[in-house]
Structure 1
Amino acid sequence: MRTSEWVFVVDDDRAARESLEYLLTSVGYRVCGFQSANDFIAGYGDRVGCLILDVRMPGMSGLQLLLELERRQPPLSTILVTGHGDVPMAVTAMRHGAIDFLQKPFNNQALLDRTEEAMARARGLYKAEISRSEVDANFNRLTCREREVAWLIFGGMSNKQIAAELELSCKTVEAHRANVMGKMSAHCVVDLVQKLNVLVGPKPFPDLKSVRSHSTAG
């Protein structure tokens, strides 16, 4: 059973929407249907899941909703469906985050397979979001000096080099380093670097001016 999973179906065609809701409920998904893109925006609530979205609807179209979701970046994976699909529309949909584009009438098993793939991707998006939040929270616990030390470790400096750069004793640097590792829940330098990469990407901060400006940012 997939009682913790949500699938959202957005289609102005009531019969088509209810048919999908029945199919998805029958295999254990929790399903919530909406008759328009605006109704979905109002009722979605940033839940983790899969969105099955009709392209052509009155008001905001499926592609327009997809663009809005691309801006908001929710933990959601989208499958577009339509009876009027064409290759350019499919390319546009994939470019803006849809994981698949199915043309009506589609095979039910194919839809279920794509839905499971979408769910797996949504779980990954959610985990990445949680990971970023945890790293942010831990980083915000560091003092300004600890942030300087963290970025210099990130830049590949040894304790001795950091001590010279910051005009501190090696013993003081070791104490700051231990605090950084503890507060960031990093079990080794590689782990710390990976966590800092979540915040800033792989580019190092080789000079103290850059380090200090970054340590006081945010």
Structure 2
Amino acid sequence: MQARATVYIVDDDDSVRRALSRLLMAHGYPVTTFDSAQAFLDEADFEAGPACVILDLLMPAMDGLALQHGLPRRMPVIFLSGHGDVARVVQAMQAGAIEFLEKPVSDTQLLAAVEKGCACAAEHFALERELQTLRQKLQRLTPREREVLTWVVTGIRNKQVASELGTVEKTIKVHRAHVMQKLEVDSLPALVRIADRMGLCVSRRDDDARQRAG
């Protein structure tokens, strides 16, 4: 079973940090607290695992909105503040906050927001890990193999790829086999999914292929 996402609490009020920590830890959430935005940026390990953050809006030196802009987009942000005017709420939500709660907040509201934030955090973290793994696999390819990959995933035949690259079909088959081995897949649809996930430029070539076929 995957561990729960960590909840970071950033608030300059010690009593708020203690109260939130007790509530969340009582419901099984790992919690780490910080008394300032700068302490959070200096000490938190954003790569350690999935995490969401509860931010106070008004804090000395760096406020919650400024801190929000310095965080990875994949980290869900929940604002908890006693100073939530409409303009600030809109600004926070436009920047990607998932909730803006006003103090005092009910346990039910807070826990619902944290559950939502942690679920988003786990999803984003898993996606980033998957993309990182795919990037590492793509780095195994030689420049020629990567070029063959971008042509193969258009669906055109090996013979046509060979013609485009100025070589013979047998060579393309060898490159294609190496590509599939290095990317650890066993079918063309799997190659297409990887190319799509990594944003490889295949759409234009696919259009070209259809034009040639027509």
Where on the TM-score scale, by shorter chain, does this alignment land: which range?
0.7 to 0.9
1:63 corresponds, among 48, 62, 65, to 65
**Alignment gaps of 5+ in structure 2:** 207-214
| Aligned equivalent of 1:7 | 7
Q: 1:79, 1:192 → 2: CA distance? A: 38
Aligned residue number for residue 216 of structure 1:
none
Deviations 1:40-83 (A, max 9, x none): 111111132110110111110000000111xx44x521101110
**SS across alignment from 2:8:** strand
Kindly, what percent of the aligned residue pairs are identical?
Answer: 37
8 Å contact 1:2–1:28 — kept in the other structure? no
2:56 and 2:79 map into 1 onto residues whose CA distance is 6
Within-5 A mapping of 1:42-191: 42-46=42-46, 47=48, 48-69=50-71, 72-73=72-73, 75-191=74-190
Q: Tell whether the 8 Å contact from 1:63 to 1:93 is kept in structure 2 after alignment.
A: yes
Indicate the SS of the match to 1:76: coil
Q: Could you say if the C-alpha distance between residues 68 and 141 of structure 1 is closer, same or farther in structure 2, counting changes exceeding 3 Å? A: same
> Where does structure 1 differ by over 4 angstroms across 4 or more consecutive aligned residues?
1-4
Change (3 A) 1:201 1:168: closer
Alignment CA distance shift 1:199-1:134 (3 Å): same
SS at match of 2:104: coil
CA shift, 1:188, in A, is 2.2
Secondary structure at the residue paired with 2:32?
strand
Give the letter aligned to residue 63 of structure 1: L
Is residue 55–residue 78 contact of structure 2 (8 Å, CA) maintained in 1? yes
Q: Secondary structure at the match of 2:98?
A: strand
2:113 aligned partner, one-letter code: R
8 Å Cα contact 1:79/1:98 also seen in 2: yes
Q: Tell me the residue number matched to 1:214.
A: none
Query: What is the CA distance between 1:202 and its match in structure 2?
Result: 6.6
What is the CA RMSD across the aligned residues, in angstroms?
2.0
Corresponding residue of 2:210? none
Distance of 1:101 and 1:202 partners within structure 2: 39
TM-score, normalised to structure 1, is 0.86
Sort the Cα spacing of 1:201 and 1:51 in 2 relative to 1 into closer, same or farther, 3 A: farther
Pair 1:32-2:60 in alignment = no
- Deviation at 1:190? 2.2
Distance 2:2 2:154 in 1: 44
Whole-angstrom CA distance in 2 between matches of 1:56 and 1:203: 47
Counterpart-to-counterpart distance in 1, 2:66 and 2:189: 42
CA distance in 1, matches of 2:78, 2:194: 32
Give the deviation of 1:3 after TM superposition.
5.7
AA aligned to 2:205 is P
Please give the per-residue CA displacement for 1:149-171, whole angstroms capped at 9, x wherever unaligned.
00112334221210111122222
Residue 179 of structure 2 aligns with an amino acid whose one-letter code is V
TM-score (norm 2): 0.88
Q: May I ask how many residue pairs the two structures share in their alignment?
A: 204
Q: 1:101 to 1:20 in 2, by over 3 A?
A: same
Q: Secondary structure at the match of 1:142?
A: coil
